[in-house]
């Protein structure tokens, strides 16, 4: 009886822990939702951080959110927008830039590319996986 009671108590604790974890995790906003909030900020650091999140978690639906930042006065914001645009567009069609382009030409190129993609219509949202094989590993060097 003692072993059976212990097993029941451990099972209840385990199930309670799993339930709490699932509830807490489901309440946490997604990284894209956090990025949406960050780019609405007036602080340039928050905007750049939000754009950086789009770099890894953005999709075609986020391109129009990024587009206004390609014309921003602050070059840090423009570079973050260029990077986010590049990564999303690379996901779409393996689009690459050359290293000798200026910030202005890159920003204009991505504005035209976003408008072109927007005219083609909405594509289905791609499945995102935070641990995809295409993302770099940050394992410590030996």
> What is the total count of domains within the chain?
1
103 vs 46 pLDDT, higher one? 46
Q: What is the per-residue pLDDT for 139?
A: 47
Q: Examine residue 112 and state whether it is found in any structural domain, yes or no.
A: yes
DSSP the chain: -HHHHHHHHHHHHHHHHHHHHHHHHHHSPPHHHHHHHHTTSS-HHHHHHHHHHHHHH--GGGHHHHGGGGG-SSHHHHHHHHHHHHHHHHHHH-----TT--HHHHHHHHHHHHHHHHHH-PPPPPP--TT-TTSPP-PPP-
Q: 137: pLDDT confidence band, cut at 50, 70 and 90?
A: very low
Containing structural domain, residue 111: 31-120
pLDDT tens per residue across span 2-55? 788 888 888 888 888 888 877 776 666 677 788 888 888 888 888 888 888 877
Q: What is the per-residue pLDDT for 118?
A: 81
Q: Examine residue 100 and state whether it is found in any structural domain, yes or no.
A: yes
The alpha-carbon radius of gyration of the chain (Å, integer) is 21
Q: 130: pLDDT confidence band, cut at 50, 70 and 90?
A: very low
Q: What is the per-residue pLDDT for 98?
A: 55
Q: Examine residue 44 and state whether it is found in any structural domain, yes or no.
A: yes
pLDDT tens per residue across span 76-93? 888 888 888 888 877 766
Q: Examine residue 36 and state whether it is found in any structural domain, yes or no.
A: yes
pLDDT at 114 over 60: yes
Cα–Cα distance measured from residue 2 to residue 8, given in angstroms and rounded to the nearest whole number: 10
Q: Examine residue 7 and state whether it is found in any structural domain, yes or no.
A: no
Q: What is the per-residue pLDDT for 93?
A: 61
Q: Examine residue 54 and state whether it is found in any structural domain, yes or no.
A: yes
Q: 134: pLDDT confidence band, cut at 50, 70 and 90?
A: very low
Cα–Cα distance measured from residue 63 to residue 115, given in angstroms and rounded to the nearest whole number: 9
* Number of other residues whose CB lies within 10 A of the CB of residue 101: 13
Q: Examine residue 129 and state whether it is found in any structural domain, yes or no.
A: no
* Cβ contact 113:96 at 8 Å: no
Q: Examine residue 86 and state whether it is found in any structural domain, yes or no.
A: yes
């Amino acid at each position: 009886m003692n072993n059976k009671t212990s097993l029941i108590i451990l099972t209840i604790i385990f199930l309670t822990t799993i339930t709490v974890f699932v509830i807490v995790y489901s309440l946490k906003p997604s990284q894209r939702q956090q990025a949406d909030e960050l780019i609405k900020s007036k602080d340039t650091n928050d905007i750049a951080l939000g754009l950086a999140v789009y770099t890894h978690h953005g999709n075609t639906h986020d391109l129009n959110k990024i587009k206004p930042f390609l014309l921003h006065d602050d070059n840090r914001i423009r570079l973050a927008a260029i990077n986010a645009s590049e990564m999303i567009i690379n996901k779409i069609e393996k689009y690459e830039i050359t290293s000798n382009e200026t910030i202005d030409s890159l920003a204009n190129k991505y504005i035209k590319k976003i408008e072109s993609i927007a005219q083609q219509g909405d594509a289905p949202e791609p499945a995102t996986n935070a641990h995809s094989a295409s993302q770099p590993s940050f394992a410590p060097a030996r």
